[in-house]
Amino acid sequence: MWNIEEIKKDVRSNLSDYRYNHSLRVMEEAEKLARHYHCNVEKCKLCGLTHDMCKELRDKDNEEFIKKYNLSKELLNPENKNIIHGVIASILVKEKYNFTEDMTLAIKYHTTGYPNMDLLAKIVYLADKIEKGKNYPGIEEERLLAYQNIDKAIILCLNNQIKHLKEKNKVINKMGYDTLKFLEQNTTD
Ligand SMILES: [Fe+2]
């Protein structure tokens, strides 16, 4: 069984300084949110630390992984560029570190969320967007809302993401839309 220090070293060896530092900040934010919302602190920290551990794999590595695990080749399409690293990480964390099912799910969908997310997944999604190193229009409101109403904070994040992508003539992944629709229909004050 790996402990968090060993996992840190392992993640460190696979990432640039830039992304490793982001991962540490996501871990820190996830811990704060976990304490605030009484979620499992250890799980939130571990997911925050590892969520991007496959983001710097080369295209060739991604292709090999897809083949080895018999995953959909569609994951290699450009529109899934932001999705594939979560899918691969979700498999690796289970194989290597023995992460539980709820942890692998939170990591798999950390970029877009998914409908009916559990609290762990919500925390990992949000911590990735609002960690203290990030800076983009609307983030201060997201940070405030994150500690008031986590569902509303995620709705705001997704809407901001959609707006930002529109400006660049891009669209959000379908799963992001599905998450937004679900939360809008199921979130109350
Ligand atoms: Fe991230």
Give residue-wise pLDDT tens across range 93-111: 999 999 999 999 999 999 9
Q: Indicate whether 164 belongs to any domain.
A: no
Q: Indicate whether 177 belongs to any domain.
A: no
Tell whether the torsion through CA atoms of 78, 82, 83 and 88 is positive or negative. Answer: positive
Between the alpha carbon of residue 64 and those of residues 2, 47, 60, 127, the distances in Å are 25, 24, 6, 30
Section 65-70 average pLDDT: 96
Section 172-189 average pLDDT: 92
How far, in Å, from the CA of 89 to the mean position of ligand 1?
12
The count of domains in the chain is 1
Section 127-134 average pLDDT: 98
How far, in Å, from the CA of 38 to the mean position of ligand 1?
22
User: Is the predicted pLDDT of residue 7 greater than 90, yes or no?
Assistant: yes
The pLDDT value given to residue 6: 97
The CATH number for 87's domain is: 1.10.3210.10
How far, in Å, from the CA of 51 to the mean position of ligand 1?
6
Q: Indicate whether 91 belongs to any domain.
A: yes
Q: What is the mean pLDDT of the chain?
A: 96
How far, in Å, from the CA of 46 to the mean position of ligand 1?
13
Range of the domain at 101: 4-137
How far, in Å, from the CA of 76 to the mean position of ligand 1?
19
Q: Indicate whether 19 belongs to any domain.
A: yes
* Identity of the amino acid at 36: H
Around 2, how many Cα atoms within 13 Å sit in the side-chain half-sphere?
A: 17
**188 band by pLDDT with thresholds 50, 70 and 90:** confident
How far, in Å, from the CA of 187 to the mean position of ligand 1?
25
Q: Indicate whether 185 belongs to any domain.
A: no
Q: Indicate whether 47 belongs to any domain.
A: yes
Q: Indicate whether 160 belongs to any domain.
A: no
* Spatial separation of the C-alpha atoms in residues 132 and 158, rounded to whole Å: 18
Among the listed residues 124, 122, 117, the one whose alpha carbon sits nearest the alpha carbon of residue 46: 124
The pLDDT value given to residue 79: 83
Q: How many other CB atoms sit within 10 Å of the CB of residue 28?
A: 16
How far, in Å, from the CA of 93 to the mean position of ligand 1?
15
The pLDDT value given to residue 24: 98
Q: How many other CB atoms sit within 10 Å of the CB of residue 91?
A: 17
Q: Indicate whether 38 belongs to any domain.
A: yes
The pLDDT value given to residue 172: 86
How far, in Å, from the CA of 70 to the mean position of ligand 1?
25
